């Protein structure tokens, strides 16, 4: 077994495990069941706690805000599976509370999916930092909109604009100062020129990286010359700015408060020392930036570790660190899925056969399934796990509690769409049994018809016939009179329908048809044995009826034939019955 | 124009507009939504804010929650009333409570139906139920609608429509209609606003059937509307040439006649058609279907066109309601969609 990367944090379960009692546990699909137990199998009986504690690992799944996230990301996930082209559009998920996740996600986009080469890499990283440090805009606007911007107390926070490489905006703010004092206007003009002439790499332009590098070095030397000449010695703020432009790491580090994070420091540092940074060299600067910014003794936060792994382009480490740090599988499952679609994940066969993406998506979906409401989302995720998705779904779907018919109908639709006939049959049987227990025979029958469950249909028919024998009349006539082709589902059901029809015909005085029907019921051998006596008793009045109904010779003849056949069949039946009774008696 | 979506963190089983007083040409602004499948379900009231649009004529308002309250069990149906009351255990089995599946009201009277096969009549201001029709049905009754002041129509899970007249003392239906052939459960029913004998039903197989309850017991038209259970069907209350259906397959269709004749004459001629995938945004992975409608000889003149109202395939659309030019619907994807400029 591998070593654990981090020490697991202990979790206290209230009212369990006191007085040196042992705790037993059992894994559930998303929870852990914990109970107090005597370690020995037999021993003196002592009062123990009768409680079973359910320990849920993932509380996020119950948060209403996160439910919105799960639903929106579900739509995106399904949409992504349907895209077949090689170029995958990156969908960014806007999360208001999980800023860290957004940060990581954006960084992964920049480093792995956009895979920017040297030159554009820095530009993308600048964008990334600007996105996540947006208060700079607000402050700059506040200063510019105030009555006298130059006197504003946060005026010199213009440095943060420089740190983010936003030279035009910095120039705009500095111009406010320049217009004020005539004597230092030349100094400000000088600074303005420096800021304006800073070369920015244009990835779509014709300039190559080497040309840009040369230009940049020229500019860098110019800045250095200004520093050496003490051009800006009169104004300490401008002096700071020019030191930053030259790339003096200590000066940049002094702006810790404005930078606020080590990765901002990293990007700023690169901007003014190595704008043509290549991806493989990134991690060296990242590590050193983190050390310089945080100090040697500060332990790195989980977020920092994750970002560092990203800068090292170690995708698997990123996923692993995220899995440990975050409570819920949501992030890693979606990230891995996206990376897999961009073909960035090597197929990494795990011990249990499926690849990493499938494993994570399955974990996420299984977690969703334990939720009383989000199980519907999980179905789509299982659909897109080619190896084990179906098996997981088959096992989980039968365990959804079915309180109302409407929910059962939805679950059944899911099973039917995927040809899971076993599950369909089992769910329909549960519903039919419940209906039968509540005496809703029509409901029970409609569930059996849906499942094409002949055995249960037979059971229901038996129940009807039993009721008939007990009460002497049929219940639920609206159902029996309108069975339609469903009658053919089982023999017993067919008999029931036809028998009811016989009664109806008899009630309408259509005796010859009734007789024919009764005859066919007897000869077709679908009548249950227990009812033969009843059938024979029903036949008796028909035999008498021939006297009443005789009108024409034809009718008489046909009646006579029918009656003759009836008598013959009666005889056979009686013989069989006698045989039965003899065998029973013996 | 696309409908606006709002995710409300609960699966929605029913949405209904608050009725606008007749005569005022106002668009509805307030709707109620009920949730299901939660550990604690809620009925919530939402407002759409001002009717003023900005210069582009676009409505940007997202629905805002006005208030909500807890509800025991899933919310199965909602209707607007001016009084509030609870009738406990109205629907029950011998040893348990039974789910009530639908409620309809025509103030001050209410009718409810349930899985126990009972039809119950209430008056809004009385605590006792007015009348119970026991054993109205041996299977589950899924939906109910008023035909006339004293007549209701119910549909059940063995594919039958039953008409009940409360003036009659007996507990048996005045009329039973059903499809010949397979007994497919029917889930929803709605009657034509002006002509009370025309009724539309939707079933488990997604078939939309139009019936004339006066004649015969087979439907006039059978339309393959959806590929899964149809949950609700609604005629537009003021413009009955428009019909709306929503289904488990995640689509909401808007049906309208494109010819000069109105819906009722079209239907009386026993018209049949296949559904048309006719939307501005093609659904991912689907081919465009061909419009085909055949009515003996008149195929060019009389057509029923269907348009998808929701922009992309969602989870099941459980409920919809239309009033004037506004449509609201709720899905299992925990989103409410509001469309404020219906082409009706």
Q: Determine the pLDDT at residue B269.
A: 52
Q: How far is A98 from chain B (nearest CA, A)?
A: 17
Q: Are A443 and B139 a contacting pair at CB < 8 A?
A: yes
Q: Check residue A582 and give its pLDDT.
A: 61
Q: Is the pLDDT assigned to residue B187 strictly greater than 90?
A: yes
What is the ipTM score, two decimals?
0.83
Would you state the pLDDT for residue A239? 86
What average pLDDT does the segment B151-172 reach? 89
* Chain B residues touching A406 at Cβ < 8 A: 13, 36, 74, 76, 101
Average pLDDT over residues B276-283: 36
- Residues B305, B278 contacting (CB under 8 angstroms): yes
Which residues from chain B sit within 8 angstroms of residue A373, using beta carbons?
Answer: 10-11, 37-38
Neighbour-count burial for B230-259, b at 16+ CB within 10 Å, e otherwise: bbbbbbbbebbbbbbbbbbbbbbbbbbbee
Mean pLDDT of the region A214-239: 87
Q: Which of A126, A85, A94 is nearest to A107 (CA)?
A: A126
- CA diameter of chain A: 137
Tokens representing residue B131 in the block: 């009348």
Residue A107: predicted pLDDT: 87
CB contact under 8 A, A75 and B248: no
| Interface size, chain A vs chain B, as Cβ–Cβ contacts under 8 Å | 131
CA distance A523 to B257: 55
Give the whole-angstrom CA distance, residue A264 versus residue A6. Answer: 27
Whether residue B277 is predicted with pLDDT greater than 60 in this model: the reply is: no
> How close, in Å, is residue B224 to chain A by CA atoms?
17
> CA B291, B296, B298, B302 torsion: positive or negative?
negative
Look at chain A and count its residues. Answer: 586
pLDDT at B244: 93
pLDDT in tens, B306-335: 888 887 777 899 999 998 888 999 999 888
Q: What percentage of residues in chain B have a pLDDT greater than 90?
A: 16
Q: List the structure tokens of B134.
A: 């026991």
Residue A4 reports pLDDT greater than 80 = no
Min Cα–Cα distance to chain A from B120, Å:
17
Question: Which residue on chain B is closest to A64 by alpha carbon?
Answer: B9
Average pLDDT of every residue of chain A: 79
pLDDT-derived band at A195, boundaries 50, 70, 90:
confident
A266-303: pLDDT as tens digits: 999 998 998 888 888 888 999 898 888 888 777 777 77
pLDDT of residue A324: 77
Please, which residues 30-69 of chain B have a Cβ atom closer than 8 Å to chain A?
36-39
Quote the pLDDT of residue B299.
Answer: 37
pLDDT above 90 coverage of chain A, percent:
7
Cβ atoms within 10 A of the Cβ of A537, count?
10
Integer Cα distance of A334 and A337 in angstroms:
5
Which range, of A56-60, A489-493, B30-34, B176-180, averages the lowest pLDDT? A56-60
Query: What pLDDT digit, counting tens, does each position of A221-233 carry?
Result: 998 988 888 888 8
Q: What is the pLDDT of residue A42?
A: 62
Q: Does B162 touch chain A (CB under 8 A)?
A: yes
A548-574 pLDDT, tens digit per residue, is 444 434 444 555 566 667 777 777 777
Average predicted confidence (pLDDT) for chain B: 77
| Residue B53: pLDDT over 70 | no
Residues of B in contact with A443 (CB under 8 A): 115, 117, 138-140, 157
Distance (Å, whole) CA A362 – CA A355: 11
Among B76, B135, B157, select the one facing A443 at the smallest CB separation: B157
Q: Is the pLDDT of residue A446 over 70?
A: yes
Average pLDDT over residues A474-482: 80
**Residue A403 and residue B74: Cβ atoms within 8 Å?**
yes
Residue B293 pLDDT level (bands cut at 50, 70, 90): very low
With an 8 Å Cβ cutoff, are B183 and A446 in contact? yes
Residue-level pLDDT at A354: 64
- pLDDT by residue (tens digit) across B83-106? 566 666 677 776 777 788 888 877
SS3 A336: helix
Q: Which of residues 261-320 of B touch A (CB under 8 A)?
A: 284-285, 312-316
Contact A438 B101 (CB under 8 A): no
Distance from CA of A507 to the nearest CA of B (A): 19
Confidence of residue A431 (pLDDT cuts 50, 70, 90): very high
**8 A C-beta contact, residue B327 and residue B63:** no
Chain A residues within 8 A of B156 when measuring between CB atoms: 442
Instruction: Give residue B246's pLDDT.
Output: 93
Q: Is residue B174 within 8 Å of B165, Cβ to Cβ? A: yes
Tell me the CA distances in angstroms from B318 to A193, A260, B102, one per residue in order.
64, 48, 13
Residue A412 banded pLDDT, cuts 50, 70, 90: very high
Least confident of A180-184, A582-586, B55-59, B200-204: B55-59
Report chain B residues whose CB lies below 8 A from the CB of A404: 74, 76, 99, 101, 115
- pLDDT, residue B229, reads 92
SS3 for chain B is CCCEEEECCCCEEEEEECCCCCCCCCCCCEEEEEECCCCCEEEEEEECCCCCCCCCCCCCCCCEEEEEEEECCCCCCCCCCCCCCCCCCCCECCCCECCEEEEEEECCEEEEEECCCCEEEEECCCCCCCEEECCCCCCCEEEEEEEECCEEEEEECCCEEEEEECCCCCCCCCEEEECCCCCCCEEEEEECCCCCCEEEEEECCCEEEEEECCCCCCCCEEEECCCCCEEEEEECCCCCCEEEEEECCCCEEEEEECCCCCHHHHHHCCCEEECCCCCCCCCCCCCCCCCCEECCCCCCCCCEEEEECCCCCCCCEEEEEEECCEEEEEECCCEEEEECCCCC
Put simply, whether B96 touches A (Cβ < 8 Å) is yes
Q: Mean per-residue pLDDT for A113-137?
A: 84
Q: Are A317 and A309 in contact (CB under 8 A)?
A: yes
Q: How far is B158 from chain A (nearest CA, A)?
A: 6
Given B39, B98, B285, which is nearest A372 (Cβ)? B39
Per-residue confidence (pLDDT) for residue B295, from 0 to 100: 22
User: pLDDT at position A415, please?
Assistant: 93
Return the pLDDT at A217: 92
Q: Is the pLDDT of residue A311 over 70?
A: yes
Q: By mean pLDDT, which of A87-96, A456-465, B160-169, B260-269 is the weakest?
A: A87-96
Of the partner residues B156, B229, B284, the one whose CB lies closest to the CB of residue A79: B284
Q: How far is A486 from chain B (nearest CA, A)?
A: 7
Tracing tokens 């990367």 back to the chain, one arrives at A5
Which residue from A71, A409, A479 is facing B333, i.e. has the nearest CB?
A: A71
Gap between the Cα atoms of A55 and A227, Å rounded: 63
Q: Cα A416–A421–A424 angle (5° rounding)?
A: 65
- Closest-CA distance, A456 to chain B, in angstroms, reads 16
Rounded percentage of chain B residues whose pLDDT exceeds 70: 78
CA-to-CA distance for A303 and A56, rounded, in angstroms? 24
* Residue B232 in this model has a pLDDT that exceeds 80: yes
The pLDDT of residue B285 is above 70: no
- Angstrom distances, CA of residue B138 to CA of A441, A469, B159, B170, B287: 6, 19, 12, 17, 42
How high is the pLDDT of residue B233? 94
A-chain residues within 8 Å CB-CB of B77?
Answer: none
A513 Cα to chain B: minimum distance (Å)? 22
pLDDT, position A423: 92
- How far, in Å, are A358, A379, A393, A412, B220 from residue A418 at the CA level? 19, 11, 10, 10, 33
Residue A558's pLDDT is: 58
Give me the pLDDT at residue B300, please.
Answer: 40
Burial class for A54, CB neighbours closer than 10 Å (0-12, 13-18, 19+): exposed
- Choose between A583 and B114: higher pLDDT: B114
pLDDT at A548: 41
In the predicted structure, residue A106 carries a pLDDT above the cut 60: yes
């Amino acid at each position: 077994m591998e070593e654990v990367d981090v020490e697991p944090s202990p979790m206290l379960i209230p009212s369990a495990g006191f007085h040196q009692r042992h705790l037993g546990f059992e894994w559930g699909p998303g929870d852990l069941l914990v109970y107090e137990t005597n370690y020995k199998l037999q021993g003196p009986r002592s009062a123990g706690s009768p409680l079973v504690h359910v320990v849920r690992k993932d509380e996020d799944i119950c948060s209403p805000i996160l439910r919105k996230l799960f639903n929106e990301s579900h739509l995106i996930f399904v949409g992504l599976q349907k895209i077949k082209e090689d170029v995958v559009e990156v969908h960014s998920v806007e999360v208001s509370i999980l800023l860290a996740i957004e940060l990581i996600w954006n960084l992964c986009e920049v480093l792995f999916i956009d895979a920017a080469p040297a030159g554009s890499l820095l530009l993308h990283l600048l964008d990334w930092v600007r996105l996540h440090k947006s208060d700079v805009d607000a402050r700059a606007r506040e200063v510019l909109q105030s009555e006298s911007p130059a006197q504003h107390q946060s005026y010199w926070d213009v440095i943060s604009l420089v740190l983010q490489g936003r030279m035009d905006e910095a120039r705009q703010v500095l111009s406010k100062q320049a217009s004020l004092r005539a004597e230092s206007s030349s100094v400000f003009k000088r600074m303005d020129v420096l800021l304006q002439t800073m070369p920015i790499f244009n990835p779509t332009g014709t300039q190559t990286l080497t040309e840009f590098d040369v230009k940049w070095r020229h500019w860098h030397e110019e800045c250095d010359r200004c520093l050496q000449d003490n051009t800006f010695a009169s104004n300490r703020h401008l002096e700071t700015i020019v030191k930053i432009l030259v790339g003096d790491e200590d000066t940049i580090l002094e702006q810790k408060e404005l930078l606020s994070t080590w990765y901002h420091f990293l990007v700023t540092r690169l901007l003014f020392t190595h704008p043509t940074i290549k991806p493989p060299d990134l991690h060296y600067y990242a590590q050193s930036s983190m050390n310089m910014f945080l100090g040697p003794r500060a332990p790195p936060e989980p977020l920092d570790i994750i970002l560092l792994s990203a800068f090292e382009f170690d995708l698997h480490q990123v996923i692993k660190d995220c899995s440990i740090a975050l409570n819920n599988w949501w992030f890693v499952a979606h990230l891995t899925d996206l990376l897999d679609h961009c073909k960035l994940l090597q197929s990494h066969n795990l011990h249990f056969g499926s690849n990493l993406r499938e494993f994570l998506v399955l974990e996420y979906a299984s977690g969703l399934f334990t939720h009383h409401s989000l199980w519907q989302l999980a179905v789509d995720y299982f659909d897109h796990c080619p190896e084990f998705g179906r098996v997981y779904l088959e096992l989980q779907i039968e365990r959804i509690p079915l309180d109302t018919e409407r929910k059962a109908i939805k679950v059944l639709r899911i099973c039917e769409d995927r040809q899971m006939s076993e599950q369909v049959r089992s769910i329909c049987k549960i519903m039919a049994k419940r209906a039968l227990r509540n005496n809703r025979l029509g409901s029970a029958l409609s569930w059996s018809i849906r499942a094409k469950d002949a055995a249960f249909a037979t059971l229901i028919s038996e129940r009807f016939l039993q009721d008939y024998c007990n009460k002497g009349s049929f219940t639920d006539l609206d159902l029996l009179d309108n069975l339609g082709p469903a009658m053919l589902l089982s023999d017993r059901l067919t008999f029931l329908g036809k028998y009811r029809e016989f009664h109806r015909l008899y009630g309408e005085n259509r005796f010859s048809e009734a007789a024919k029907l009764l005859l066919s019921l007897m000869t077709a051998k679908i009548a249950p044995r227990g009812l033969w006596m009843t059938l024979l008793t029903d036949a008796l009045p028909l035999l008498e009826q021939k006297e009443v109904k005789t009108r024409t010779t034809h009718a008489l003849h046909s009646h006579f034939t029918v009656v003759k056949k009836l008598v013959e069949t009666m005889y056979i039946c009686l013989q069989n019955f006698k045989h039965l009774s003899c065998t029973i008696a013996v | 124009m696309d409908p606006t979506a709002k995710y409300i963190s609960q699966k929605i089983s029913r949405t209904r507009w608050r009725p606008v007083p007749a005569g005022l040409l106002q668009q509805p602004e307030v709707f109620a939504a009920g949730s299901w499948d939660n550990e604690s379900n809620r009925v919530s009231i939402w407002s759409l804010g001002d009717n003023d649009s900005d210069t582009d004529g676009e409505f940007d308002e997202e629905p805002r929650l006005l208030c909500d309250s807890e509800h025991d069990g899933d919310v199965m149906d909602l209707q607007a009333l001016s009084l509030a009351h609870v009738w406990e255990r109205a629907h029950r089995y011998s040893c348990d409570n039974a789910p009530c599946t639908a409620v309809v009201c025509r103030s001050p009277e209410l009718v409810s139906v349930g899985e126990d096969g009972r039809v119950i009549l209430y008056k809004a201001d009385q605590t006792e139920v007015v009348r119970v029709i026991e054993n109205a049905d041996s299977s589950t009754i899924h939906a109910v609608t008023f035909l006339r002041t004293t007549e209701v129509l119910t549909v059940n899970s063995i594919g039958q429509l039953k008409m009940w007249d409360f003036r009659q003392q007996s507990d048996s239906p005045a009329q039973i209609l059903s499809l010949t052939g397979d007994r497919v459960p029917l889930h929803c029913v709605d009657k034509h606003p002006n002509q009370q004998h025309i009724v539309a039903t939707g079933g488990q197989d997604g078939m939309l059937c139009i019936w004339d309850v006066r004649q015969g017991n087979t439907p006039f038209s059978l339309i393959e509307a959806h590929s899964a259970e149809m949950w609700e069907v609604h005629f537009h209350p003021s413009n009955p040439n428009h019909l709306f259906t929503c289904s488990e397959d995640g689509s909401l269709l808007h049906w309208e006649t494109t010819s000069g004749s109105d819906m009722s004459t079209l239907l009386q001629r026993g018209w049949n058609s296949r559904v048309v995938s006719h939307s501005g945004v093609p659904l991912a992975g689907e081919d465009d279907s061909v419009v085909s409608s055949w009515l003996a000889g008149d195929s060019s003149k009389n057509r029923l066109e269907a348009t998808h109202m929701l922009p992309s395939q969602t989870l099941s659309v459980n409920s919809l309601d239309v009033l004037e030019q506004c449509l609201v619907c709720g899905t299992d994807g925990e989103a409410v969609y509001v469309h404020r400029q219906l082409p009706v």
